[in-house]
């Protein structure tokens, strides 16, 4: 038994350096573009998790809150996948977001209410447009197959986030324009109480069942 345990310890002792050398070899063989992409993808994921978490707690608009929770959850899962890829390829990931992201986070900390919502969604539309371009370029030009597959698998979610951000940003902008034109706060439709009949105009059809609205941003 002691001999078996000793042999196992020796095997483990030598396996560690061997695995490290294997990872270093993979990293050395990885194209610079692919290594840079992995680092950029990590920063994007961390930025969206941090920003989404902040907005989920701070945003006033419920659609903004839901969007913030969605991107925080999606990018957290994506970061887990990226860490596994980076480990397999022997690539070290950045530990924190970049300076530009930190500046944006500080900018949003000073805002609240509608101002926060509009600024956050504006950032989201911009950041996801850039992310879609980055990941699409990697799908087209990546030299490493694993890196290409990661970019390809992630791209649909990024496109969906971008379309959501663009739609919500436009909606918030329209709401703000209505406030400015009306000289006050936007009016909200009165919610009828249960059991209360809703008056209908002569031209209003009695059948209120309609098709689901079409998302103009959906491809």
Give domain status of residue 61, yes or no.
yes
Give domain status of residue 199, yes or no.
no
At residue 88, the pLDDT reads 97
Both structure tokens of 167 = 């739609």
At residue 193, the pLDDT reads 43
Question: pLDDT by residue (tens digit) across 68-99?
Answer: 999 999 999 999 999 999 999 999 999 999 99
Both structure tokens of 118 = 């509009």
| CA distance between the termini of the chain | 64
Question: pLDDT by residue (tens digit) across 169-219?
Answer: 999 999 877 765 655 554 443 334 444 444 443 444 444 334 434 444 444
Give domain status of residue 95, yes or no.
yes
Give domain status of residue 159, yes or no.
yes
At residue 177, the pLDDT reads 72
Confirm if 142 and 151 have CB atoms less than 8 A apart: yes
At residue 207, the pLDDT reads 42
Give domain status of residue 36, yes or no.
yes
Give domain status of residue 54, yes or no.
yes
Q: How confident is the model at residue 7 (pLDDT cuts 50, 70, 90)?
A: low
Q: How confident is the model at residue 134 (pLDDT cuts 50, 70, 90)?
A: very high
Give domain status of residue 119, yes or no.
yes
Q: What is the pTM of this model?
A: 0.71
CATH of the domain at 82: 1.20.1260.10
- Here the contacts of 93-97 (C-beta below 8 Å, separation 24 or greater) are 93/38, 93/39, 93/42, 94/39, 94/42, 94/43, 94/46, 96/46, 97/43, 97/46, 97/47, 97/50
Give domain status of residue 15, yes or no.
no
Where in the sequence is the domain holding 136, given as residue range(s)? 22-179
At residue 175, the pLDDT reads 82
Is pLDDT of 106 > 80?
A: yes
Instruction: Give me the number of domains the chain comprises.
Output: 1
């Amino acid at each position: 038994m002691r001999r078996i345990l000793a042999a196992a310890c020796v095997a483990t002792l030598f396996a560690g350096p061997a695995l490290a050398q294997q990872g270093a070899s993979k990293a050395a063989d990885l194209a610079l573009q692919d290594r840079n992409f992995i680092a950029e993808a990590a920063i994007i994921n961390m930025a969206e998790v941090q920003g989404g978490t902040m907005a989920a707690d701070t945003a006033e608009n419920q659609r903004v809150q839901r969007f913030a929770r969605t991107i925080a959850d999606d990018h957290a899962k994506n970061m887990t996948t990226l860490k596994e890829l980076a480990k397999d390829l022997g690539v070290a990931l950045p530990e924190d977001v970049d300076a530009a992201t930190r500046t944006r986070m500080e900018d949003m900390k000073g805002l609240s209410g509608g101002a926060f919502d509009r600024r956050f969604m504006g950032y989201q539309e911009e950041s996801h447009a850039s992310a879609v371009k980055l990941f699409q370029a990697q799908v087209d030009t990546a030299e490493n197959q694993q890196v290409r597959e990661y970019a390809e698998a992630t791209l649909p979610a990024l496109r969906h986030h971008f379309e959501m951000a663009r739609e919500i940003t436009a909606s918030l902008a329209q709401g703000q324009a209505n406030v400015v034109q009306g000289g006050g706060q936007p009016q909200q439709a009165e919610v009828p109480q249960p059991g209360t009949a809703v008056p209908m105009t002569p031209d209003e059809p009695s059948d209120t069942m309609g098709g689901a609205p079409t998302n103009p941003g959906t491809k």
